[in-house]
Structures are given as C-alpha cells and as structure tokens.
Amino acid sequence: MHWWASIAGVVLIFIILMDAFETVVLPRRIKRSFRITGWFYRNSWGLWTRIGRHIKSANRREGFLAYFGPLSLIPLMGFWALGLIFGFACVQYGLGEHLTLANEKITFWKVLYLSGETFFTLGYGDITPNNAAARALAVMEAGMGFAFLGVVIGYLPVIYNSFAAREIEISLLDARAGSPPSAAEFLGRLGCCPEQTVLDEIFRDWERWCADLLSSHISYPVLVFFRSQHSNQSWLSAVTVMLDVTSLVMTGVEGIHSDQAKLTFAMARHAAVDLAQVVSSQYSPHDGDRLAGPELTRLRTELAQHGVTLYNGADAPERLAELRMLYEPYVHALSLRLLMTLPPWIRTDGKKDNWKGGPWDRAIQARALERPGRPADDHF
C-alpha cells in the first residue's frame, strides 16, 4: 500500500483545483506569495520578453508580444489538466493492486494511462478498477474532466468579451486624442467646443471604462497581456492619457471646472496602482521625466493655439508635479514590465491618426492629382 502516493496525489489535486478556482472563478486579486498561475506568468512572460527585446522592428516586436496573452491560455490549461491527471494517478496507485489488466503487470505508468483516459472520458476499458474505492475515484475523475471542459468552454468567451469591451473605448480615443494618444491632442481637439458638459460626459465615460478595466483585469489577469489591435495603442496608453488630461484640468484650465476630472483621475489612478501590483511591477527611482520644464512651456503654447488656456500661476508647476507623482511611477513600472510605450504629452511624430490611414491612400491621391481642380488632400 503506497499510502504516501495517495496523500501526495490529494495534495496536488487540491493545489491545482484551488489555483484554477482563484484564476477563473474568484473575482479578486490574490495576495498569497506563491500561486501556480502567478509563477507560470512571471516566468513565461520573462522568457517571452527576453526574446522580444531582440526583435529590432517595433511593429514586429509588438506583433510577437501580442501572441503571448492568447497563447498563454493553452499551456496554462494544459498544465492544470496534466496536474489533475497525475494527481489522480497518484491516488489510484496508492490504493494498491486493485486494477485488472490482461496478461500485464500493473505499474505506475499504467495507472497514469488509466487516469488520462478516465479524465478525458475515453473509456477504452483495457484497464478497469475492481474495488469500490477505485471505481468511486474513477467516477470522480471523469466528472472532473467534464467540469474542466466546461470551464474551458466558458472561460474563453468571457476573456474575449472583456477584451472587446476594453478595446471599444480605446478605438474611440483615436479621433479624440490621436494615434498614439496624447494629452495635448485631447485638449487641443476639444478647444473648438469647450463646453463643460461635453468634457464632463467624456470624463464620465472614461471613469466607467477605468472601473471596468480594473474589475475585469483583476478578475482575469491574463487580459493585462492582451495587446490592442494597433501597435500605437494600448490600454496603458489610454489610462495614462486620461491621468495626464485630468491632471491638467485639476491644475487649472480656464473656463473648465475640475469636479468630474477629480473623479476620473481617482478611478484611473486606482486602476494603474492595482494593475501594477497584479503584474508584479517594480518601482524604479530612475524613470525619465515625461514633462520637463521646456516641454511644459511648449504644452502651454500649443494648447493656447487651440483656445485652451492653462493656469499659469507660480504654483502651477508644483501642483501638476504633485499630481503626476501620484501615478507616473506606476505607469512607468507597468511600461517596463509589459514593454508598452507610454504616450507623450505632446505628439511630435507628425504621423496620421489610424482612422486617416489606408492601404489605397497613395493610389487614391495619385488619381485625385490627375483630376483638375481637385486637390489630393480635400478630405483630410
């Protein structure tokens, strides 16, 4: 009687089931120091990023990193399945010589084979349990195999529904803040319609989006690794831009009240802080300054050209710096951990927004030049 094998098998089954429950079902962040899923993602993401850093092309590197999130679900669920099969095999083996097999000696590897075919409900019948305990264990494992299949079927649609909901608002940000988005573009493009109700409604939508982001990405942490459809957009860029914009409004923008901006800032910072902990980001005191003194002056000038006047009191830089210190260390840490580029305060690349681009643009412009009286950039 290999009783020690049964004990080890029960412990392994419990650990696997607890980890799967905490990952798929439990809607909150687990603070325990060691978890199988956490260990899996820390090590696999570290290996993936080490390979990705050697890809020189930014677009190709982003495409390579985009595979990790969806692809990681397959080995993770396979790891759970193999762990359960091995655990049940240990329990079966510990129950003793209780199986029948024609003209062959029962070994642990035969028991492991029985566990696998039972878990996946193949039912070949070449190995059968012949006592009550072994039969009960086989029935239990078969039921768990069905449950595991149900978890896989139910888990994947939830993940992709949450991802799709996240990306809708990020896509809407394209026309409002550019690609990549920036605080200067966001406020500058609203300079033509500075009504308080317009800005408050936008901030209210983003407050809800940040709350949804926090809820879904804590419940399903793998979503943190899912990249956006365009390489110059990301959920981290969207959160950072909202924090930048609301920081400017809270510091002071002529004609705009900051009540709703404060609520949006609080929700966005909450999301940034908690998600930085989800991916085990590390604080770095050597992060670069995203808005140095000359850049702040340039930001004021550029926004003034669009009819947006920032508060220019003696304490304005200090007030803005205090707000930035509340979130920039966290978004910097997330950027380093996830290899996501943070958005600039002011865009300098001169590239078109994503919605303006298309594979036929050159051909269309060439045809427009052939038509007299029609400049090629009429619609841009």
Indicate whether 134 and 25 sit together in one domain. Answer: yes
- 259 Cβ contact partners less than 8 Å away, ≥ 6 residues apart: 200
Nearest to 235 by CA among 142, 292, 165, 152: 165
Give the separation between CA 234 and CA 29, rounded to whole angstroms. 22
Range of the domain at 319: 175-356
- 279 Cβ contact partners less than 8 Å away, ≥ 6 residues apart: 221, 224, 334, 337, 338
The per-residue pLDDT for range 169-185, each reduced to its tens digit, is: 898 888 888 888 999 99
Bridging pattern class, strands 99-100 and 128-129: antiparallel
Determine the pLDDT at residue 327: 95
Of 99-108, 229-238, 272-281, 338-347, the one with minimum mean pLDDT is 99-108
**Average pLDDT, stretch 15-29?**
81
Determine the pLDDT at residue 290: 86
Give the separation between CA 226 and CA 231, rounded to whole angstroms. 12
> What is the CA 136 to chain-centroid distance, rounded?
41
Give the separation between CA 123 and CA 118, rounded to whole angstroms. 6
Indicate whether 283 and 138 sit together in one domain. Answer: no
pLDDT-based confidence at 316, cuts 50/70/90?
A: confident
pLDDT-based confidence at 97, cuts 50/70/90?
A: low
DSSP structure string for 13-79: HHHHHHHHIIIII--S----S--HHHHHHHHHHHHHHHHHTT--SHHHHHHHHHTHHHHHHHHHHHH
Indicate whether 65 and 202 sit together in one domain. Answer: no
Task: Name the residue with higher pLDDT: 105 or 373.
Answer: 105
pLDDT of 376 > 60? The answer is no
Instruction: Specify if 322 maps to a domain.
Output: yes
pLDDT of 33 > 70? The answer is no
Instruction: Specify if 126 maps to a domain.
Output: yes
The per-residue pLDDT for range 264-275, each reduced to its tens digit, is: 999 999 999 999
Indicate whether 203 and 351 sit together in one domain. Answer: yes
The per-residue pLDDT for range 47-66, each reduced to its tens digit, is: 999 999 999 888 899 889 99
Indicate whether 224 and 328 sit together in one domain. Answer: yes
Global pTM reads 0.85
Indicate whether 78 and 31 sit together in one domain. Answer: yes
Indicate whether 228 and 331 sit together in one domain. Answer: yes
Indicate whether 136 and 179 sit together in one domain. Answer: no
Indicate whether 101 and 227 sit together in one domain. Answer: no
Please give the share of the chain, as a percent, with pLDDT higher than 70. 92
pLDDT-based confidence at 378, cuts 50/70/90?
A: very low
Give the separation between CA 96 and CA 255, rounded to whole angstroms. 81
* φ, ψ of residue 100 in degrees (nearest 5): -115, 135
pLDDT of 254 > 90? The answer is no
Determine the pLDDT at residue 380: 44
The per-residue pLDDT for range 228-251, each reduced to its tens digit, is: 988 888 999 999 999 999 999 999
Task: Name the residue with higher pLDDT: 377 or 208.
Answer: 208
Give the separation between CA 342 and CA 290, rounded to whole angstroms. 9
Indicate whether 197 and 144 sit together in one domain. Answer: no
Give the separation between CA 256 and CA 196, rounded to whole angstroms. 6
Instruction: Specify if 219 maps to a domain.
Output: yes
24, 155 Cβ separation under 8 angstroms: yes
The per-residue pLDDT for range 116-146, each reduced to its tens digit, is: 888 888 777 777 777 788 788 888 888 888 8
pLDDT of 225 > 60? The answer is yes
Residue bearing tokens 């510091």: 251
pLDDT of 371 > 70? The answer is no
